[in-house]
């Protein structure tokens, strides 16, 4: 089905679907799109897979520079960047690789950066029961760089603060200073 849709797009841009280089393109593009949106077929429980461990650590845990690749829901063009995720545990910690997997699950969907930032923060909060969660995402948007205003160096920064990251200025400040 998606393969057919890509064949139509290729024709509509003025190409010849029978040109040798394009013969398998609808199938390949469909496969690539399915991969780029595989987050729709994942859920939090399965991604975290019980990697939650008891801990009496109540200091901030920060995972910086988590690469992310997403597609903007307005143009279906990529936006690419990094997520920084921090939380303050309340009795349990989550496997570090799971934080990256949670970021990936939400990035591999049609997204806007603002919503994705919030979804990631809320997911970490709900899975860990943390005292607070902070998420900062910086990304470059191809829909801005390749079309429209064509601003090559514009990057967008979004943040979401929950719990103590929202209520305690010193917690938020500690988080933000660790990102510099």
Catalog residues that contact Zn ion under the rule CB under 5 A.
Answer: 72, 74-75, 143
Q: Between residues 76 and 96, which has the closer beta carbon with respect to Zn ion?
A: 76
Residues 6+ apart with CB under 8 A from 23: 17
Q: Residue 154 Cβ, how far from Zn ion at the closest point, in Å?
A: 12
Tell whether residue 41 is among the known ligand binding residues: no
Q: Which two tokens stand for residue 72?
A: 């903007």
Q: Provide the sign of the torsion angle of the four alpha carbons 9, 10, 11, 12, taken in this order.
A: positive
Q: Are 6 and 25 in contact (CB under 8 A)?
A: yes
Catalytic residue positions, numbered:
72-75, 113, 141, 143
Q: Between residues 26 and 81, which has the closer beta carbon with respect to Zn ion?
A: 81
Q: Residue 69 Cβ, how far from Zn ion at the closest point, in Å?
A: 14
| Of residues 143, 94, 146, 153, the one with CA closest to residue 120 | 94
Q: How far apart are CA 86 and CA 45, in angstroms?
A: 20
Q: Residue 143 Cβ, how far from Zn ion at the closest point, in Å?
A: 3
**Adjacent-strand bridge partners of 88:** 132
Q: Provide the sign of the torsion angle of the four alpha carbons 164, 139, 111, 37, taken in this order.
A: negative
Q: Between residues 62 and 110, which has the closer beta carbon with respect to Zn ion?
A: 110
Q: Residue 175 Cβ, how far from Zn ion at the closest point, in Å?
A: 28
**Nearest-CB residue to Zn ion?**
143
Q: Between residues 75 and 82, which has the closer beta carbon with respect to Zn ion?
A: 75
Measured at the CA of 15, the angle between CA 14 and CA 20, to 5 degrees, comes to: 175
Q: Provide the sign of the torsion angle of the four alpha carbons 144, 83, 46, 89, taken in this order.
A: negative
Tell whether residue 180 is among the known ligand binding residues: no
Q: Write out the binding residues for Zn(2+).
A: 72, 75, 143
């Amino acid at each position: 089905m998606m393969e057919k849709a890509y064949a139509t797009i290729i024709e509509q841009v003025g190409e010849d679907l029978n040109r040798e280089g394009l013969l398998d393109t609808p199938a390949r593009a469909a496969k690539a799109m399915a991969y780029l949106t595989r987050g729709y077929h994942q859920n939090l429980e399965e991604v975290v897979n019980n990697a939650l461990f008891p801990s009496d650590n109540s200091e901030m845990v920060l995972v910086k520079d988590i690469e992310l690749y997403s597609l903007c829901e307005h143009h279906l063009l990529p936006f690419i960047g990094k997520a920084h995720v921090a939380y303050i545990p309340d009795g349990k910690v989550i496997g570090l690789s799971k934080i990256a997997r949670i970021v990936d699950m939400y990035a591999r969907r049609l997204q806007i950066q603002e919503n994705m930032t919030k979804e990631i923060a809320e997911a970490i909060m709900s899975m860990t029961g943390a005292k607070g969660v902070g998420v900062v995402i910086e990304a470059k948007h191809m829909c801005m760089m390749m079309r429209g205003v064509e601003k090559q160096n514009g990057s967008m920064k979004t943040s979401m603060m929950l719990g103590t990251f929202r209520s305690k200025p010193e917690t938020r400040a500690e988080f933000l200073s660790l990102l510099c």
